[in-house]
Amino acid sequence: MKFTNSFKTAIIGLKTNKTRSFLTVLGIVIGIASVILMMSLGDGAQNLILRQIMSMGANNVYVEPGAFSGGGDMTQQMMEGMEVKTFTLKDIEAIAKDPLVEMAAPIVVSVSRVVYKNNDEKITFFATTPAYNKITDAQTILGSNFTDFEVQGMSKVAVLGYKIKEDLFEDENPIGKIIRIKKTNFRVIGVMEEQGTQMFQSLDEYIYIPITTAQKFLLGINHVQSSVVKIISQDQIDEAVEDIRLILRERHNIYNPDGDLAKDDFKVVSGKETADIMNTVTSILTLLLSSVAAIALVVGGVGIMNIMLVSVAERTREIGLRKAVGARSKDILYQFLIESVVLTVLGGVLGILLGAIFSYLVSIVLTMALGIQWDFVLSLSSIILAFGVAAVIGLVFGIYPARKAAKLSPIDALRYE
């Protein structure tokens, strides 16, 4: 029997049992759609993280207290870093003097409540210097930013994020008005332009104040939490990172001739390194989620095998009749194997379409819910992988029922009740 005849016979067999065929295809559709969705979300997350990191400046590096560790719990490392109090404004001034450094800005961030008249809002105050706005190219739309003179004088002045201005003052002009943060009065001198989200934090909900004012009047500390450093050229980032490490080791009296990062009490990370780390994390998460989703494919494959075994049992007399009129064992094998592959390939195509639709809808929902641009990504590799897996599952889980049907004796099959 020709292959085309086997194919036609297989299709007729599937059409004869439409409900059973539909339920079999459904298992594959769910599995393939789940894998497509997970891979699409993983790629979208990688794009988002890379865009967020690059938005912070390709020439920027970040210095944080706390020893670098290649493993361990990330949250624990961040908490340990916040407890390190050796990173100071003097360190940042020394870093800024390096010939490869254009400028450096210290950062201290904390949460508090801000009060204006009857309005009381929970906010994040962002303490830094004017260098930070120059590094990030952030501008004010009302008033002005605080100056280096005001930082040195510990002036109690504040620049409002765009959304905080709307929440506290609505249509009122805030310039010159007095707000209270942690029982300390601050005079509003400016309002930042709308900046959106950066590293999953809304910059429009910050209140920017001089770092020395925050240290003395709000937090009672002498150290800083981190620093952003702008390098004069992207090509010199690696060299500048090494310079910064040498400067801080000398200032902190750290003897580390081998350059072992675990011996330092600080971390220096470039935007590229951060992107590589986050991409690795998201890749691992995508792999894990896709593996979980792939379980549905295995379940679907087992379902196909069970359905095909039932089909063989139900059609035993048909198999015997076909063999009695001249059909060979390989013709029966091809028929049932083709049925299995057709079911899985059809499920694969529908699963890819359904997965693409779900991925697109989820990207829209995440964009609206998180207030960030979540890209819809459907890579060719994920489609090829899903389609290939569907075909392999059809072959693997269809071979046993097909072989069982092919081995049936025509006499025994015709006698089967």
Per-residue pLDDT of the chain (417 residues; tens, 9 = 90+): 455 655 665 566 566 667 777 777 787 788 788 888 888 887 887 777 767 666 666 688 889 888 765 544 444 444 444 567 889 999 999 999 999 999 999 999 999 999 998 888 889 999 999 999 888 888 999 999 999 999 999 999 999 999 999 889 988 999 999 999 998 999 999 999 988 776 557 788 899 999 999 999 999 999 999 999 999 987 888 899 999 999 999 999 988 888 888 888 888 887 766 667 666 777 777 777 667 666 766 776 677 677 766 666 666 666 666 666 666 777 777 777 777 777 777 888 888 899 899 989 988 888 887 777 788 888 787 788 777 777 777 677 767 666 766 666 665 545 544
- The answer to whether residue 71 is domain-embedded is no
Cα dihedral sign for 407, 410, 412, 414? positive
CA distance 196 to 205: 9
- The answer to whether residue 35 is domain-embedded is yes
Cα dihedral angle (129, 135, 137, 139), rounded to 10 degrees? 0
- The answer to whether residue 57 is domain-embedded is no
- The answer to whether residue 138 is domain-embedded is yes
- The answer to whether residue 60 is domain-embedded is no
Domain range for 167 is 85-264
Residue that terminates a domain, selected from 206, 231, 264: 264
> Where does residue 166 fall: left (phi above 0), alpha (psi -120 to 50 degrees), or beta otherwise?
alpha
CA distance 231 to 104: 9
Q: Which H helix or E strand runs over 76?
A: helix 74-83
Residue located via tokens 């292959």 = 3
Q: 237 and 296 in one domain?
A: no
Q: 368 and 260 in one domain?
A: no
* Of 163, 160, 148, nearest in space to 190 by CA: 160
Q: 32 and 94 in one domain?
A: no
143 CB contacts (<8 Å, ≥6 apart)?
Answer: 159, 175, 188, 189, 190, 191
Residue that terminates a domain, selected from 209, 235, 264: 264
Strand extents, DSSP E, 149-253 = 157-160, 178-181, 184-192, 197-198, 201-202, 206-210, 226-231
pTM reported for the whole predicted model: 0.63
Q: What single-letter amino acid sits at 315?
A: R
Cα dihedral angle (111, 115, 119, 123), rounded to 10 degrees? -10
CB 350 within 8 A of CB 342: no
Residue that terminates a domain, selected from 211, 237, 264: 264
Domains in the chain: how many in total?
Answer: 2
- The answer to whether residue 236 is domain-embedded is yes
Q: 134 and 48 in one domain?
A: no
- The answer to whether residue 300 is domain-embedded is yes
CA distance 53 to 215: 27
CB 339 within 8 A of CB 13: yes
Q: 377 and 232 in one domain?
A: no
Q: 90 and 153 in one domain?
A: yes
> Where does residue 369 fall: left (phi above 0), alpha (psi -120 to 50 degrees), or beta otherwise?
alpha
Radius of gyration of the chain (CA): 32
Helices and strands in the chain, H and E counts: 14, 12
- Write down how long the chain is: 417
- The answer to whether residue 77 is domain-embedded is no
